A and B are shown apart, each in its own frame.
Chain A
Amino acid sequence: MRIPLAAAIGMFFTALYFLAAIFAPLLAPYGYDEVVSSGFWDPPSAEFLLGTDGIGRDLLSRMIYGGRTTIFVATAATILSFTTGSVLGFLAAVAGGWVDQLLSRFVDLLMSIPSLIFALVVLSVMPVTLPVLIVVMGLLDSTRVFRLSRAVAVDIEVMDYVEAARLRGEKTAWIIFREILPNALSPLVAEMGLRFIFMVLFVSTLSFLGLGIQPPQADWGGIVKENAEGIVYGAPAALMPAFAIATLAISVNLVADWILNRTTSLKGGRG
């Protein structure tokens, strides 16, 4: 199989970020909460490759550990959002009738409020802990996965080959796993990439607002918040996560695009 250059680059950087997240303690030169300099917002040097933050912690170490937290939370929330959303979406499509109506209308309702606003409302009464964050983000986002998987499954369900399988007498399990799922997989996997990016942005935003991951734990949104004051003094420390988030997001996007294109070309193949 030929992999286009853009997708290969995307995969390389995505893998790099995940490896850095897993092996953060080995890679980071200092501890995430270790004050290593008496100065604040030190410029980059041989000792501190990205400089230090507002209270003298090594910024590179905080970025690496921060990536670990951000990627962990985003991954967990994506998995939750995906399992919930796709299981319910397929169920709604295959079962139809009142099951479908009930689920679809409830999702419509949840999606009529911006998810950030709803998350803020819920977080105003919940303790802000990692599990709470993951559950809130995952469940709110599962509405989108629900809509997509339901739509994909409904599209496939009306295909004559599914009808042919029904007429042959195949069981529902065969129809879902052998006829529908193989054809739904690529769009869902591509969507998974997009949802993951959205989760990274979402958790970073919450942390930036002070309502996500709590200090001294490091994460990319939190690093912006901690160092925001420095901007006015000309210290760019707060901008570091921009680069990290953007490269991760673009890499995942490139991979997702490639997966999606592969599907469409397979479907559209003629003669």
Chain B
Amino acid sequence: MSDPLVKVRDLKIGATVYPPGEKPHDIEIVHGVSFDLEKGKVLGLIGESGAGKSTIGLASMAYGRGGVKITGGEVWINGRDILKTSFKDVRALRGGEVTYVSQSAAASFNPAKKIMEQVTEAAIEQGKFSKKDAEARARALFAKLGLPDPDNIGERYPHQVSGGQLQRCMTALALCPEPDLVVFDEPTTALDVTTQIDVLKAIKEAIHDTGVAALYITHDLAVVAQVSDDIMVLRHGDMVEYGDVDQIINAPREDYTKALVSVRSIEHEEKPPSGEPVLSVRNITARYKGTKFDVLHNVNADLYPGQTLAVVGESGSGKSTLARVITGLLPPREGEIEFAGRVLSPDLASRTRDDLRELQMIYQMADVAMNPRQTVGTIIGRPLEFYFGMKGAEKRKRIIELLDEIELGEGFIDRYPAELSGGQKQRVCIARALAAKPKMIICDEVTSALDPLVADGILKLLLNLQKIENVAYLFITHDLATVRAISDNIAVMYQGRVQRYGSKSEVLSPPFDDYTDLLLGSVPEMRLGWLEEVIANRKMESAGN
């Protein structure tokens, strides 16, 4: 048997870190990882942030980003160890044998040059094709990747095409020189879910048609399950589990893999509406100051005590604007907000203290939602002091109770936000909201900046607290799995309108309107063959039309 295309043995990667107030020093971030990759196969590298997956991907091009250095091991590609060859050989490898697709095509394309020039550059420079052939090949790839007007799109500049299109151009850039291996580094993570599926489909078909091998790096196991033959699970720079895709998804051996597979599978029984709604949004139409178009059109929704209304939509759907209207930061042009049986003043400044206390908010970026100069105790203690006039021992006792409720404990009271992990920060923000004894909390994408397992922990905590405190959540998110996990009612938003509204079971059951159908159908599912099914269905539909 001949050697595999890629053979990595005991790869070790280090980095220089610059901790504040200490001398810079080297640490190891990947501790001896090995794998093989045959021609035409796809290996998925999966893990949470800090797992070292991108670093490993770039090491297959003998490249280290910033202060990252490859410190040991072997990386064999096409029968030679690229860590030991000359720099000239490495250059011939990059852009020729191995190419790279980054997460952000928008940043990875040179803004000053036409797309065609950039897509064909490596192929021409590495002597693989003449300029004419390279351009013909690029146009063929543009067509294959489903880009509009493939013959002319190359004449445009990067800022003249959309994000999803540019991501496909980046794939064309990587495939143009007929490489043996393409490294895909989170190529769809920055995209909206309905755009993601098109790019994913384009990538999968391109890999299949060109017979290229690929390393597919992502944090999303459901995505990697659609495109890979094998999967390696990484954590903190160590290999956790390595196997074929079927085994990893359907019969994971390690606990960590099991947790990743079962992520977003929280079961939540929907509650029927009971009593009077705590919040009624009535006919809200709103626009931002100085603009000429409405971002919300006649929005209506109800939220019942102790329940969760999920507001779901993609970027630009107006879901965060709705939160600003409810909190009074953006007075609406028309419509009113009824809260706890009274009509709220549209403007924040004229709301009563009880209005403010009973309606709390948790933000997406816990990092910037807490004053970095205040301790956890001060942050949670302020609402107690402000709304209830608590002081001294009484306040401290209550802070500790709250810290226990969010499963952190007394030890955190004197810490600063910078000393907490992402999940811990979000927990402190939850405690701050709870401290006001609110009737309702607006949760604005509170889990989207977190790794999946951490996000699951936060969701479970929120559900648990809802039972104890009987607080209602207005839960804003773009992620349908989160919606399933937490909601009782759902409002699907699209271009500033409520597209579909009702109980969870109603909204998520057919018959669907076109947008909801597209949205639901685009969410990757944790099973093999999902992508093929969707593609086949859509082909049938378009044939039927």
At the interface, yes or no: B25 with Cβ under 8 Å from chain A? no
**Which residues does chain A contribute within 8 Å of B383, judged by CB atoms?**
168
**Which residues does chain B contribute within 8 Å of A267, judged by CB atoms?**
372
Picked from B20, B368, B419, the residue with its CB within 8 Å of the CB of A265 is B20
**Inter-subunit contact B373/A167 (CB<8 Å):** no
| Bound complex: CA A92 to CA B507 (Å) | 48
Q: Which of A93-139 contact B (CB under 8 A)?
A: none
The verdict on A182 contacting B20 (CB below 8 Å), with A160-B365, A269-B419 known, is: no
Find the A residue at minimum CB distance from B359. A167
The verdict on A167 contacting B348 (CB below 8 Å), with A269-B20, A271-B422 known, is: yes
**Inter-subunit contact A269/B418 (CB<8 Å):** yes
Find the A residue at minimum CB distance from B354. A169
| Bound complex: CA A133 to CA B334 (Å) | 57
| Bound complex: CA A161 to CA B329 (Å) | 14
**Inter-subunit contact B386/A170 (CB<8 Å):** yes
**Which residues does chain A contribute within 8 Å of B419, judged by CB atoms?**
269
**Inter-subunit contact A266/B363 (CB<8 Å):** no
| Bound complex: CA A188 to CA B479 (Å) | 41
Q: Which of A232-268 contact B (CB under 8 A)?
A: 261-262, 265-268
Number of interface residues of B (CB under 8 A): 32
Q: Which of A1-46 contact B (CB under 8 A)?
A: 2
**Which residues does chain A contribute within 8 Å of B386, judged by CB atoms?**
168-170
**Inter-subunit contact B368/A159 (CB<8 Å):** yes
Find the A residue at minimum CB distance from B436. A168
**Which residues does chain B contribute within 8 Å of A179, judged by CB atoms?**
371
| Bound complex: CA A161 to CA B351 (Å) | 19
**Which residues does chain B contribute within 8 Å of A161, judged by CB atoms?**
368-371
Minimal beta-carbon separation of A269 from chain B (angstroms): 3
Q: Which of B354-410 contact A (CB under 8 A)?
A: 356-357, 360-361, 363, 365, 367-373, 382-383, 386
**Which residues does chain B contribute within 8 Å of A166, judged by CB atoms?**
329, 348
* Residue from the set A2, A166, A268, A271 with the largest chain B CB neighbour count within 10 Å: A271
Minimal beta-carbon separation of B358 from chain A (angstroms): 12
| Bound complex: CA A194 to CA B257 (Å) | 54
**Inter-subunit contact B21/A2 (CB<8 Å):** yes
| Bound complex: CA A103 to CA B246 (Å) | 66
Q: Which of A186-219 contact B (CB under 8 A)?
A: none
At the interface, yes or no: A84 with Cβ under 8 Å from chain B? no
**Inter-subunit contact A168/B327 (CB<8 Å):** no
| Bound complex: CA A265 to CA B418 (Å) | 10
**Inter-subunit contact B372/A266 (CB<8 Å):** yes
At the interface, yes or no: A163 with Cβ under 8 Å from chain B? yes
Minimal beta-carbon separation of A170 from chain B (angstroms): 7
**Which residues does chain B contribute within 8 Å of A83, judged by CB atoms?**
none
**Which residues does chain B contribute within 8 Å of A271, judged by CB atoms?**
420-422
Find the A residue at minimum CB distance from B432. A164
The verdict on A164 contacting B361 (CB below 8 Å), with A2-B21, A265-B20, A265-B21 known, is: yes
**Which residues does chain B contribute within 8 Å of A262, judged by CB atoms?**
20
**Inter-subunit contact B356/A168 (CB<8 Å):** yes
Find the A residue at minimum CB distance from B422. A271
| Bound complex: CA A168 to CA B436 (Å) | 9
**Inter-subunit contact A183/B371 (CB<8 Å):** yes
At the interface, yes or no: B132 with Cβ under 8 Å from chain A? no
Mark each residue of chain B from 155 to 192: 1 if its CB lies under 8 Å from any CB of chain A, else 0: 00000000000000000000000000000000000000
**Which residues does chain A contribute within 8 Å of B369, judged by CB atoms?**
159-161, 164
Number of interface residues of A (CB under 8 A): 24
**Chain A interface, >50% SS class:** helix
| Bound complex: CA A61 to CA B407 (Å) | 68
**Inter-subunit contact A270/B418 (CB<8 Å):** yes
| Bound complex: CA A33 to CA B89 (Å) | 75
**Inter-subunit contact A266/B371 (CB<8 Å):** no
At the interface, yes or no: B353 with Cβ under 8 Å from chain A? yes
**Inter-subunit contact B373/A160 (CB<8 Å):** no
**Which residues does chain A contribute within 8 Å of B327, judged by CB atoms?**
167
**Inter-subunit contact A167/B361 (CB<8 Å):** yes
Minimal beta-carbon separation of A263 from chain B (angstroms): 10
**Inter-subunit contact B20/A169 (CB<8 Å):** no
Find the A residue at minimum CB distance from B324. A163
Minimal beta-carbon separation of A249 from chain B (angstroms): 26
* Residue from the set B368, B371, B386 with the largest chain A CB neighbour count within 10 Å: B371
**Inter-subunit contact B353/A169 (CB<8 Å):** yes
**Which residues does chain B contribute within 8 Å of A265, judged by CB atoms?**
20-21
**Which residues does chain A contribute within 8 Å of B353, judged by CB atoms?**
169
**Which residues does chain A contribute within 8 Å of B367, judged by CB atoms?**
270
| Bound complex: CA A179 to CA B379 (Å) | 11
**Inter-subunit contact B372/A183 (CB<8 Å):** yes
| Bound complex: CA A164 to CA B329 (Å) | 11
**Inter-subunit contact B363/A160 (CB<8 Å):** yes
**Which residues does chain A contribute within 8 Å of B20, judged by CB atoms?**
261-262, 265-266, 268-269
Find the B residue at minimum CB distance from A1. B21
**Inter-subunit contact A164/B363 (CB<8 Å):** yes
Minimal beta-carbon separation of B437 from chain A (angstroms): 13
Find the B residue at minimum CB distance from A162. B371
| Bound complex: CA A268 to CA B421 (Å) | 13
**Which residues does chain A contribute within 8 Å of B420, judged by CB atoms?**
271
| Bound complex: CA A266 to CA B371 (Å) | 11
**Which residues does chain B contribute within 8 Å of A169, judged by CB atoms?**
351, 353, 356-357, 386
Find the B residue at minimum CB distance from A270. B418
Minimal beta-carbon separation of B168 from chain A (angstroms): 33
| Bound complex: CA A270 to CA B419 (Å) | 7
| Bound complex: CA A75 to CA B356 (Å) | 46
Find the A residue at minimum CB distance from B419. A269
* Residue from the set B327, B348, B360, B372 with the largest chain A CB neighbour count within 10 Å: B372
Minimal beta-carbon separation of A161 from chain B (angstroms): 5
| Bound complex: CA A261 to CA B327 (Å) | 37
**Which residues does chain A contribute within 8 Å of B21, judged by CB atoms?**
2, 265
| Bound complex: CA A149 to CA B372 (Å) | 19
Minimal beta-carbon separation of A181 from chain B (angstroms): 9
**Which residues does chain A contribute within 8 Å of B373, judged by CB atoms?**
182-183
**Which residues does chain B contribute within 8 Å of A163, judged by CB atoms?**
329
Picked from A167, A168, A266, A268, the residue with its CB within 8 Å of the CB of B382 is A168
Minimal beta-carbon separation of B256 from chain A (angstroms): 19
Minimal beta-carbon separation of A108 from chain B (angstroms): 21
| Bound complex: CA A269 to CA B372 (Å) | 9
Minimal beta-carbon separation of B380 from chain A (angstroms): 12
Minimal beta-carbon separation of A182 from chain B (angstroms): 4
Q: Which of B70-90 contact A (CB under 8 A)?
A: none
| Bound complex: CA A183 to CA B367 (Å) | 14
| A–B pairs, 25, beta carbons within 8 Å | A160-B365, A160-B368, A161-B369, A161-B370, A161-B371, A164-B361, A167-B328, A167-B348, A167-B356, A167-B360, A168-B356, A168-B382, A168-B436, A169-B351, A178-B371, A179-B371, A182-B371, A265-B20, A266-B20, A266-B372, A269-B20, A269-B418, A269-B419, A270-B367, A270-B418
Which residues on B are within 8 Å of A, measured CB to CB? Answer: 20-21, 327-329, 348, 351, 353, 356-357, 360-361, 363, 365, 367-373, 382-383, 386, 416, 418-422, 432, 436
Task: Give 6 new A-B contacts, CB below 8 A, not counting A161-B371, A169-B357, A265-B20.
Answer: A167-B327, A168-B383, A169-B351, A266-B418, A270-B367, A270-B418
Which residues on A are within 8 Å of B, measured CB to CB? Answer: 2, 159-161, 163-164, 166-170, 178-179, 182-183, 261-262, 265-271
